Structure 1
Amino acid sequence: MTGTHPDRAGGRGPGIIAVLGAFVLNGALLGSWAPRVPALAAQIGADEGALGLSLLGASVGMIAASILAGRLCAAFGARVVMTVSGVAGSAMLPALGLARSPATLGLLLIVLGAMVGVMDVAMNVSGVTATRRTGRAIMPLFHAAFSFGTLAGSVGAAVAAGQGLAPSRHFVIVAVICGGVTVGIARWIPVEELLRVPAESGRAGRAPFRRPALWLLGGVALCASIAEGAAADWSALFGVQERGLSEATGALIYSCFSITMACTRLCGEAIQRRWGAPRMLIGGAAIGGLGLATAVMAPSPALTFAGFAVAGVGLAYASPVVMELSGEAGRRTDGGGGEREVAFATTIAYSGFLLGPPMVGGVAELTSLPVALGAVAVLVLLIGPLTLAAGTFRRRELSSAEESAANPARGRAIRRKMG
């Protein structure tokens, strides 16, 4: 093919800035409503169990939409998918402030979750595209932008709560800003050329659900998402109920979590270059588990803030590294591909947001909220062994691909055996 597709230039300069903007917006949508959970709970008159079921709606929507998001990106391009879902998600946010029952809140969160989920896959696909074009490990930088977005959203939520601003009015302001910026950056979002290439053999041509390495990478994302969801959905309520903080101060716990996560991700390229992805994930698991355990076990409000801050450091690299490795696992010989694999990992990660709210809420109702969050700390520690197992299967896949190239007949036999 001759010439240069106009979108190919989007991997640098304005393209990278646009992808950063998309991650910020996605984080802002999440960070704006999650810290207002105490106000929403009071508004709908829900206890911990009912609230957990309502929050389940966002994860249901995310999972249902992310299953199809990879195909949508492959068919229409990440730019179109990101723009449509970003605008729709912004428009849905104010409706949360109108909910007056747990059922209504849950239904509204299903729709909002679907839009945020599609946008999440699209921006990660664009991030993988930009990473390939620059040749740099900049996925942590993009995810740092997401953390800064959640920080901006959570700080705004804390200010709104402190000023006594109702969730409905607060969410309208956020929706106007996010929707407008989404439209403004859309033209710069980089997308791969939508080439129609023959089906490939080998690891890039296999269905994601038939690849153990992708399941294990998804498991890493699952554990991390449960912990991130717990921090987003329950940290403010934990501060209010267990540490006697005001709603405004309790909302700042998640802000601390987001700040440390964002700052740690800014260093991701240098750390990945020096230590490699597996060590980033294993070390982060140990740090994250220790941070959450400290937050829930130490009775001091200051140590609660410090514990969630340390947890943000430990969990910083899980999601960006998993998305980068998943996208690379699906790369085609023409340089494109990876949409299915990114969507697959995202879907598993969203299962954590699906399992997290009812798990934490249910365990909290049976025991206590500190015990529930302590269980989340144990899950974080599982990231280490999952990372080691994923590395083993990745090496097997690479070995199989190399043998397939050297001996096609033998390669076909191996692929039939592997399914």
Structure 2
Amino acid sequence: MPLLNKTLPAAREATARGLLRPRTALTVFFALDGFVFAGWVVRIPAIKEQTGASVSALGLALLGVSAGAVLTMTLTGRLCARYGSHRVTAACGVLLPLSVALPPLTHSALALGLVLLVFGAAYGGINVAMNSAAVDLVRALGRPVMPSFHAAFSLGGMAGAGLGSLVAGELTPTRHLSALAVAGLLITALAAPSLRPCGSPGPPPAGARSRSATAGERTSTAPVPRGGLPSDRSRSTPKDRSVRGVVLVLGLVALCTAYGEGALADWSALHLEQDLGARPGVAAAGFSCFALAMTLGRLSGRALLERFGPTRTVVGGGALASAGMFLGALAPSTAAVFAGFAVTGLGLASIFPVAVERAGALAGPGGVATASTLGYGGMLLGPPAIGFMAGWFSLPVALTSVGALAALAAVIAAAAAGTAPAETG
């Protein structure tokens, strides 16, 4: 037995070393996705002025991102199954930078909406492909590294928003986003060769499996306390209706929180500039503040999960994000709005990764795909929804919907915990 205990960690370390290059490359693609998307969103105020669109018309144009992404998400899974998620990720890594250069070339809300269909298609495709590749890699590693990929996305968003705030007063949107496209293509060219399929490791020997069961050894997902959100030990067949129902609930939690991330990405700069009179550079830094807080929250997410478990992490995060967003939407000063955005980022940070991971633990890759699609759907539907509500009421009032949905996610998670199968052992 002592020899077996030494052999299993050694095998895991060897597997980790062998997968270091594809893991690094996949991390780069997550960061690239956030970097490109943030580069686009910080230029929305300038492109709104360029096209002469009203707030409602801009919200309708932004719906093009959502429509393009949703259409692509329904097809990307099949492409990944046929060609491999690593190949689809690399292909979308080319399309995304090319498409981000298109919005500054438009001069009407209609033209903007049409090119955003293309941008949304590339964005939706790369997100589904990357998450599919990440699921394979997590299974191959046997370690809960999914939050690290989402932290890379947030870090990329922070860098893209920070760079955008620096160049907002110096470069036109056309020059800025064209340079972003060139940088994205170069990064894809460097990282794509290191992507490769990651097969799951074979099952451990019978003795090792028995010993792991008696010792209560965890699987690749984070530890879950009794009565917490579903875990690997409560895994059922994907055909089980109750399992599908819980996966949909987890997807709804992801949707409620990703809605806030998408809304802040597209509307935070305009809120600061239009409602509080902030300069373009300061307004663009608002999303950077949110992205920085979310990055720090995701980097510490594993420690929070180990200390409090997924249910308390999600419930507490939702409550914190709700309070922060009401402050960010309704505060009368720029400093208070920045503080509200930061608190919102900390609260939302771990909820989406936890929901996706729990769905995968319950129903495998199919569960991950369902929760991810619902989550990214919320991220992409949030901006146009905010636009429509801003036209009916005002932008600050519309932004309070982010806080309301974050609170709803906390309530759903608390209610779902009571019906989740308890862990044994």
Q: Partner amino acid for 2:139?
A: R
Separation in 2 of the partners of 1:237 and 1:390? 36
Q: What is the match of residue 287 of structure 1?
A: 320
Q: Does 1:81 align with 2:107?
A: no
Deviation at 1:214, TM superposition (A): 1.3
SS of residue matched to 1:395 = coil
Q: 1:65 aligns with which of 72, 78, 81?
A: 72
Q: What is the match of residue 271 of structure 2?
A: 238
Q: How does 1:134-213 map to 2 (within 5 A)?
A: 134-163=141-170, 165-193=171-199, 203-206=236-239, 211-213=244-246
Q: CA RMSD in A?
A: 2.4
The alpha-carbon distance between structure 1 residues 134 and 365, as it changes in their structure 2 partners (threshold 3 A), is: same
Q: What is the match of residue 209 of structure 2?
A: none
Answer whether contact 2:65 2:118 (CA < 8 A) is retained.
yes
Q: What is the match of residue 410 of structure 2?
A: 384
Q: What is the match of residue 250 of structure 2?
A: 217
The alpha-carbon distance between structure 1 residues 99 and 192, as it changes in their structure 2 partners (threshold 3 A), is: same
Answer whether contact 1:32 1:171 (CA < 8 A) is retained.
yes
Separation in 2 of the partners of 1:207 and 1:119? 30
Separation in 1 of the partners of 2:381 and 2:189? 33
Q: Does 1:264 align with 2:297?
A: yes
Q: Does 1:126 align with 2:136?
A: no
Q: Does 1:17 align with 2:24?
A: yes
Deviation at 1:320, TM superposition (A): 1.4
Q: 2:333 aligns with which of 300, 316, 319?
A: 300
Q: Flag structure 2 segments of 5+ consecutive residues without an equivalent.
A: 1-10, 201-234
Separation in 1 of the partners of 2:288 and 2:325? 15
Answer whether contact 1:124 1:323 (CA < 8 A) is retained.
no
Of stretches 70-79 and 90-99 in structure 1, the one that deviates more from structure 2 is 70-79
Q: What is the match of residue 31 of structure 1?
A: 38
Q: Does 1:252 align with 2:285?
A: yes
Separation in 2 of the partners of 1:281 and 1:91? 36
Answer whether contact 1:364 1:371 (CA < 8 A) is retained.
yes
Separation in 2 of the partners of 1:65 and 1:96? 19
Q: 1:329 aligns with which of 355, 362, 367?
A: 362
Separation in 1 of the partners of 2:242 and 2:82? 20
Q: What is the match of residue 403 of structure 1?
A: none
Question: Could you give the per-residue CA deviations for residues 22-43 of structure 1, whole angstroms, max 9, x where no partner exists?
Answer: 1101101111101110001011
Answer whether contact 1:77 1:192 (CA < 8 A) is retained.
no
Q: Does 1:51 align with 2:76?
A: no
TM-score where L is the length of structure 2: 0.83
Separation in 1 of the partners of 2:288 and 2:403? 19
Question: Could you give the per-residue CA deviations for residues 109-133 of structure 1, whole angstroms, max 9, x where no partner exists?
Answer: 1111111111111111222223223
Answer whether contact 2:236 2:243 (CA < 8 A) is retained.
no
Q: Does 1:110 align with 2:117?
A: yes
Number of paired residues?
378
Q: Flag structure 1 segments of 5+ consecutive residues without an equivalent.
A: 195-201, 332-337, 400-419
Deviation at 1:189, TM superposition (A): 2.7
Q: What is the match of residue 415 of structure 1?
A: none
Q: Does 1:359 align with 2:360?
A: no
Separation in 1 of the partners of 2:131 and 2:84? 12
Separation in 2 of the partners of 1:93 and 1:132? 33
Question: Could you give the per-residue CA deviations for residues 334-386 of structure 1, whole angstroms, max 9, x where no partner exists?
Answer: xxxx0x33222222123323432232122212221111111221111011122
Deviation at 1:285, TM superposition (A): 0.2
Separation in 2 of the partners of 1:357 and 1:209? 32
Deviation at 1:46, TM superposition (A): 0.5
The alpha-carbon distance between structure 1 residues 326 and 76, as it changes in their structure 2 partners (threshold 3 A), is: farther
SS of residue matched to 1:276 = helix
Q: Percent identity?
A: 39
Of stretches 92-101 and 202-211 in structure 1, the one that deviates more from structure 2 is 202-211
Answer whether contact 1:79 1:122 (CA < 8 A) is retained.
yes
Deviation at 1:16, TM superposition (A): 2.0
Answer whether contact 2:322 2:406 (CA < 8 A) is retained.
yes
Answer whether contact 1:212 1:390 (CA < 8 A) is retained.
no
Separation in 1 of the partners of 2:50 and 2:159? 24
Deviation at 1:208, TM superposition (A): 9.2
Question: Could you give the per-residue CA deviations for residues 290-309 of structure 1, whole angstroms, max 9, x where no partner exists?
Answer: 11011122211100001001
SS of residue matched to 1:97 = helix
Question: Could you give the per-residue CA deviations for residues 49-80 of structure 1, whole angstroms, max 9, x where no partner exists?
Answer: 00001111111111111122222222221110
Q: Partner amino acid for 1:363?
A: M
Separation in 2 of the partners of 1:62 and 1:204? 29
Deviation at 1:237, TM superposition (A): 0.4
Deviation at 1:259, TM superposition (A): 0.3
Deviation at 1:11, TM superposition (A): 6.9
Question: Could you give the per-residue CA deviations for residues 195-218 of structure 1, whole angstroms, max 9, x where no partner exists?
Answer: xxxxxxx84443999811111111
Question: Could you give the per-residue CA deviations for residues 70-96 of structure 1, whole angstroms, max 9, x where no partner exists?
Answer: 222222211101000110111111111
The alpha-carbon distance between structure 1 residues 327 and 69, as it changes in their structure 2 partners (threshold 3 A), is: farther
SS of residue matched to 1:162 = coil
Separation in 1 of the partners of 2:296 and 2:158? 11
Separation in 1 of the partners of 2:241 and 2:350? 22
Of stretches 170-179 and 124-133 in structure 1, the one that deviates more from structure 2 is 124-133
